[in-house]
Amino acid sequence: MEKYRYRPLRFYIICFAVTWFFWILAAVISCSEHDNGVSSLMMLFGLIAPAVTAVITVFTSGSRALKDDFKRKLIGFYRIKPTSIIVAVVAFMAIVALSILLSVLVAGQSFEQFAFTKDFSFSIGGTSALLTILLAAVIEEVGWRGYGEDSVAAYVSWFTESIIFGFVWALWHLPLFWIEGTYHYGLRMLGAGYMLNFLISVIPLGFLTTWVYVKNNRSMLACIIFHLFVNTMQEKIAMTPQTKCVETIVVFFAAVVVVLANKELFFEKEHIGNLL
């Protein structure tokens, strides 16, 4: 049987075209007086675009190996290594704690950042904020880990893939900065530097997610758990925008440590052409 050939360029062009189409519509509608929740619906359509694209790509591929691999990644509990998930979660907790401490010592920020916020900064279409974050984690990972990340890693090392995907993932978020009511819109109102910080922070975070993904035998479920935890921490811990700039630096060094401690994982090339 002929090996399946991943098509990353086609996948990402479709994802960006569909997501940006709906999110640009959402940005225009959110500024009007007659929104009535339409912008939230457009945001949801844009959010699910990568997942829908991944599912359609996989299940119309004609490749039994690709379909089976997708199912195993999503529901294969046996792939998960609980210890690695715990290490990843504890590591991110340490990143947040260290970022706050550094912001207190260096930037004069408050220790009150260790408190929990009263609510999340956003929700979609009246859905509870916690459910929105859960859905976002699941939907994004079905798209990115369901097909997107593998489609690049099929041709390069996981290190190179993490760099490429990090830039792509950051740019994918771009229209959100112009949709009123989003966390990203709030950053734009604070200044371009905070927008840039968010985009930069996504890249080293991509290395941590890749580490979780590969360490757990390419488990989509493991990434959903980690993604959900990261989103919740970013929303519920009362970090200031200034502290999140410090956090970007801490995440960068954490990513360096993870790569150096897992050089074989990030730089081996035996998986190229053999992911399935």
Which tokens in the block code for residue 158?
């996981």
pLDDT recorded at residue 50:
97
- Is the distance from CB of 252 to CB of 163 less than 8 angstroms? no
> Is the CA virtual torsion 130, 144, 47, 27 positive or negative?
positive
pLDDT recorded at residue 125:
52
pLDDT recorded at residue 20:
98
Instruction: Identify residue 124 by its one-letter amino acid code.
Output: I
- With a CB cutoff of 8 Å and minimum separation 6, the contacts of 82 are none
Specify the 3-state DSSP secondary structure of 108. Answer: coil
pLDDT recorded at residue 189:
95
- Is the distance from CB of 148 to CB of 7 less than 8 angstroms? no
- Cα–Cα–Cα angle for 189, 51, 181, nearest 5°? 20
pLDDT recorded at residue 236:
85
pLDDT along the chain (276 residues), means of 10: 88 98 95 81 94 98 96 90 94 96 92 82 56 83 96 98 96 96 91 97 96 96 93 88 96 98 97 93
pLDDT recorded at residue 122:
57
Catalytic positions, please?
140, 173
- Is the distance from CB of 250 to CB of 102 less than 8 angstroms? yes
Distances from the Cα of 86 to the Cα of 92, 98, 188, 198, 215, angstroms:
10, 18, 34, 25, 12
Element (H, E) at 264: helix 263-267
